[in-house]
Amino acid sequence: MESVINFLFQEKVIAPILIFIVSILLSKVAKKIVLKLISKGKEGFERKRRTTITELIHNVIKVFIYVIAVIMILNVYGIDTSGILASLGIAGVVLGFALQSTVEDFMSGIIIILDNYYMIGDIIRIGEFEGEVMDLTLKSTKLKTGTGETYIFANRNMNAVVNLSQRDYGILLKIPTAYECEVKKVEAVLKKVVEKAKTMEGVKKESEYLGLDKFDASSINYAIIIYCGAPYRFKVRRAVLRLIKDAYDQENIKIPYDQIEVHYEK
């Protein structure tokens, strides 16, 4: 019995067990700390979304802890780990260069999620592309435009993004109107159009008639702005244009169009 106890309390037996137990405890503590820091003050879906990235960070920390634990256990058994560490360092550098773009994508994906740049279902604009975020991973973002095309962007290229879902979408319309039409009459008609537009689904009460915008070659441009939720922007724009055309026809207000005069010499 004494020999068994002596064997169990040998450094080469008890040290690996203690290192293993401490590693598990450190991993669990690290997860709780990261979860608390990242999800602090967040509720509902936002908290769940951030919990996802918490799992990713925890997995990275857990691997780091376990690697250190294995190295410590090897040292207990007298195995020289300096060569192993050197090999891992060289392999890490080579792998880092080989997967540099992938690492950039992953880091960009983490930042996008943590800083709440956008999420699935948001309407965003990047460069010339505007559409709904259909899928968001740590590697890429899938964007579907209003005309049905789907674009896939590497997360490292998602810079200068405008999130249209984090504010009301403003539809600025400039309506060309003939000079001979009375200004007061046109203004009254457009104000009624704006009031009708406010009754549409998704349209905000802040929508308004702005006034005269420009004296063009053959018309005066009047401006209105319609605020709505981003998902309604195309539907509302078409509906408001129809309201304007119907109102102009009803009130005999002319929308000028380009004409060509041809003169024949006698």
Question: Which CATH number is 31's domain given?
Answer: 1.10.287
In this structure, is residue 69 part of a structural domain?
A: yes
pLDDT digits (tens, 9 = 90+) for 93-112: 665 555 577 778 778 877 88
d(CA 195, CA 49): 39
CATH of residue 222's domain is 3.30.70.100
Report which of residues 168 and 223 the model is more confident about. Answer: 223
In this structure, is residue 150 part of a structural domain?
A: yes
As a whole number, mean pLDDT of residues 227-250 equals 91
Give the pair of three-digit tokens for residue 125. 């604009």
The predicted structure's pLDDT at residue 25: 87
- Say yes or no: 6 and 71 in one domain: yes
In this structure, is residue 210 part of a structural domain?
A: yes
Structural domain including 225 reads 167-250
In this structure, is residue 105 part of a structural domain?
A: no
d(CA 173, CA 221): 9
- Say yes or no: 90 and 128 in one domain: no
Neighbours of 225 (CB within 10 A): 14
- Say yes or no: 8 and 94 in one domain: yes
pLDDT digits (tens, 9 = 90+) for 117-171: 887 778 888 877 888 888 877 788 888 887 778 888 888 888 888 887 777 788 9
Does this model's pTM top 0.75? My answer is: no
* Beta pairing class for 129-136 and 123-126: antiparallel
> Backbone phi, then psi, for 124, in 5-degree steps?
-130, 165
Report which of residues 73 and 100 the model is more confident about. Answer: 73
In this structure, is residue 192 part of a structural domain?
A: yes
Confidence of residue 90 (pLDDT cuts 50, 70, 90): low
d(CA 60, CA 106): 13
The predicted structure's pLDDT at residue 101: 75
- Say yes or no: 160 and 177 in one domain: no
